[in-house]
């Protein structure tokens, strides 16, 4: 039996994962900005679940929840950085405040959680971070500069944390989902507050795609929960776990494009070293 710590357990991936874990007999520290949103899970699984208030933009709430959860359960084996939300808008449509809040939630938040959990992981000889990335950080869309950039930053920071912590038994996996049927589009998508009509053809087109796919996303969060549990049980978990056909196809196309570009410009790039 493992003990899990989940941010953003109130809905979507976080809630589906929490429920699947509790049904499998795992212990779960459920965290949410509003603890009441996970109270039903604590009521249904009183011996395995406990809730803490945690907002990833409030560092004190992170350290308090981690310390209290660790004291309550004795150890934390898997910490899931799930909390996040989108910001849809061309770069110049987004205010500074919107950019800062989004980057703070999607990039700094997971880093703060990992930094606060690492001493506990080291003391117990290891642990696993599972961080929710995004297909937007594989190759980005018009309208997701801030969100995709924050997720890409989180992914690369996670790669460094994996390298730094390997000797202490710390493992890191970044989960990269395509569109999944959660409240991400309907509720967790901020919109750039300074609209510029010239972006209708680009950002507007992407916004149209999101509106059309909402409620019909191919990805099933309950199935994602099973995949995440399989990764946590693996002896050698992957650094990236790509979820769903959409994200797999996107990733493969991206790799082909990157390889083709690398090779097309290789002769120019290789001319830049000092002669040996």
Ligand X SMILES: NC(=O)c1ccc[n+]([C@@H]2O[C@H](COP(=O)([O-])OP(=O)(O)OC[C@H]3O[C@@H](n4cnc5c(N)ncnc54)[C@H](OP(=O)(O)O)[C@@H]3O)[C@@H](O)[C@H]2O)c1
Binding of ligand X at residue 190 (CB under 6 A)?
no
Q: How many CA atoms lie within 13 A of 201 on its CB side?
A: 1
63: contact with ligand X by CB under 6 A: no
> Does 14 contact ligand X by CB under 6 A?
yes
The residue range among 17-25, 55-63, 250-258, 259-267 that interacts with ligand X, by the rule CB under 6 A, is 55-63
Q: Number of residues in contact with ligand X, rule: CB under 6 A?
A: 31
| Residue 254 C-beta: closest distance to ligand X, Å | 15
Residue 174 is a binding residue for ligand X (CB under 6 A):
no
- Which span (78-86, 162-170, 192-200, 268-276) binds ligand X, by CB under 6 A? 78-86
On whether the CB atoms of residues 18 and 6 are closer than 8 A, the answer is: yes
198 three-state secondary structure: helix
Helix (H/G/I), strand (E/B), else coil: 28: strand
DSSP structure class, residue 180: B
Taking the least distance from each CB to ligand X, the nearer of 127 and 179 is: 179
What three-state secondary structure class fits 39?
helix
> Is residue 57 a contact point for ligand X (CB under 6 A)?
yes
Of 54-62, 161-169, 234-242, 256-264, which part binds ligand X (CB under 6 A)? Answer: 54-62
Asked whether the beta carbons of 110 and 131 are under 8 A apart, the reply is: yes
Q: Helix, strand or coil for residue 230?
A: helix
The single residue listed with the structure tokens 């992957």 is 238
248 binds ligand X per the rule CB under 6 A: no
């Amino acid at each position: 039996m493992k003990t899990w710590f989940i941010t953003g357990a109130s809905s979507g991936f976080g809630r589906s994962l929490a429920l699947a874990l509790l049904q499998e007999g795992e212990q779960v520290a459920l965290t949410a900005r509003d603890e009441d949103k996970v109270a039903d899970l604590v009521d249904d699984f009183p011996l395995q679940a406990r809730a803490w208030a945690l907002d990833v933009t409030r560092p004190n709430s992170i350290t308090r929840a981690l310390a209290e959860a660790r004291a309550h359960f004795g150890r934390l084996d898997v910490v899931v950085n799930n909390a996040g939300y989108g910001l849809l808008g061309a770069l110049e449509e987004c205010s500074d405040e919107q950019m800062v809040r989004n980057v703070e939630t999607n990039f700094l938040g997971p880093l703060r959680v990992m930094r606060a959990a690492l001493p506990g992981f080291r003391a117990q000889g290891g642990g696993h971070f599972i961080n929710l990335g995004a297909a937007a950080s594989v190759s980005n869309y018009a309208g997701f500069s801030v969100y995709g950039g924050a997720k890409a930053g989180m992914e690369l920071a996670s790669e460094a944390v994996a390298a730094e912590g390997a000797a202490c038994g710390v493992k890191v996996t970044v989960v990269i989902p395509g569109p999944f049927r959660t409240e991400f589009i309907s509720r967790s998508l901020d919109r750039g507050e300074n609209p510029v009509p010239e972006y209708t053809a680009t950002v507007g087109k992407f916004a149209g795609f999101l509106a059309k796919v909402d409620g019909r996303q191919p990805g099933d969060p309950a199935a994602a929960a099973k995949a995440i549990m399989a990764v946590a049980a693996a002896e050698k978990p992957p650094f990236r776990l790509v979820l769903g056909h959409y994200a797999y196809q996107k990733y493969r196309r991206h790799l082909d494009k990157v390889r083709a570009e690398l090779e097309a410009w290789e002769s120019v790039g290789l001319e830049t070293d000092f002669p040996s």
